[in-house]
Amino acid sequence: MRVKPRILVTPRSVTKTGHPALQHLREAGFDVCYCTPGKQPDEAELLRLLPGCVGYLAGVEKVTARVLEAASDLRVISRNGTGVDNVDAAAARARGITICRAEGANARGVAELTFGLMLALARSIPCCDRSLKGGGWDRPTGIELSGKTLGLVGCGRIGRLVAGFGLAFDMEVLAYDPAPALTFAPSPRFHYTALDDLLGQADFVSLHAPLAKDGQALIGGASLQRMKRGAYLINTARGSLLDDDAVLAALDSEHLAGVALDAFDPEPPTDLRLVSHPRVIATPHAGGLTRESIDRAIEVAVANLLEFLRNPTGVR
C-alpha cells in the first residue's frame, strides 16, 4: 500500500476544532497531521512531527534552521497569515523550500480589533468595566476621536483599512510606509509622511509594519520621546517592534497615556510587567481570530499548498 504524502497543520485556530477546507488536502491524496491541539508547537515538537512531511500549514510558531534541516522532504510552507518573520527564510531558501502567504486574509479582523482597541483606550472601557463589576463607580474622562490625528506605521492592507475607519470618525490620518501605495488617496485628510513627523504629530500611533531586517525594535526610547506627550500606542503587528522596557518607562513617566497590545515576543509573554500595567490593554494575539478571517486564511493557505504541490513552479 502506497504511503500518502503528509502535511503538518499547526495554527492554533485550526488544531483545536479542525476546518472543512482541510478536507481538500485529504481529497487530493494527502495525509493531514496536527501538532498538540490548541497549543503553539515548540522546536522539539516540530522536530518530531515535520520530518517526512512534504507540506506544512504553519501558524506563528518559530521555524528554525534546525527544524528545516531535519525536514528533508519538505517542499512548501504555507502560512495562514501574511507575516513570515517566524520562519528562517534563508534556511528555507537554502533547502529549496517555498514559503507562501495568505495575503490579506486576516486584514479585516486585525484592522477592526485595532480600531476597537483605539476606542477602548480613548474611553477607558476596560477600567470602567472592572470598576463596575467590583462594585465601584469610577467614571474616567475620555477623549473623542474626531479631530485627533491617527498615525499609521505601515500602510498595507491592514493599515489602509484602519485609515478608512479613522477617516469615518473624522480623524486626520498620517501614514508612514517605506514603499507607499501612492494610488491610495482616500481623503484630503490622509497624507503620507516621514516617520519622525508622524510620531511628532499623532495622538494615536498604530503599528502595522514588518520587523526591521536587523531585528531591532522600531519603537524604542528615542522614538517614544519623539511622540507627543499624552499620545497612545497600539501594536497589533509584531511584539518585537517594541522595546518593552522603553514603553514601560514612557508609561510610568506619563509620556504615553496608554498602550494597547495584541502581539508579543514570546507568545504567550513570560514577562508580564507591561501587560499588567494599569494603562495597558492586552489581548492574546486575537486580531485574526474572527470566524471570517480564520475561514479566509485557511482556505487561502490550503489553496496555496495544493497549487504548489500540484505545480511546484506555480506559487512563490
Q: Which residues are catalytic?
A: 238, 267, 285
Contact partners, residue 295, CB within 8 Å, separation at least 6: 19, 21
Taking the alpha carbons at both ends of the chain, their separation in whole angstroms is 33
Helix (H, G, I), strand (E, B) or coil at 41: coil
Answer whether 257's CB lies under 8 Å from 277's CB: no
Q: Are 186 and 167 in contact (CB under 8 A)?
A: yes
**Using DSSP, how many helices (H) and how many strands (E) does the chain show?**
12, 12
Instruction: Look up residue 17 and give its three cell numbers.
Output: 476544532
Beta bridge partners of 223: none
Strand 149-153 with 204-207, pairing: parallel
- C-alpha cell belonging to residue 162: 484602519
Helix segments in 57-96, DSSP class H: 65-70, 89-94
Q: H-type helices in the chain, by residue range? A: 12-15, 23-27, 43-49, 65-70, 89-94, 107-123, 125-133, 157-168, 195-201, 221-226, 244-252, 291-310
Please state, as a whole number, how many other Cβ atoms lie within 10 Å of the Cβ of residue 270: 8
Q: How far apart are CA 286 and CA 295, in angstroms?
A: 15
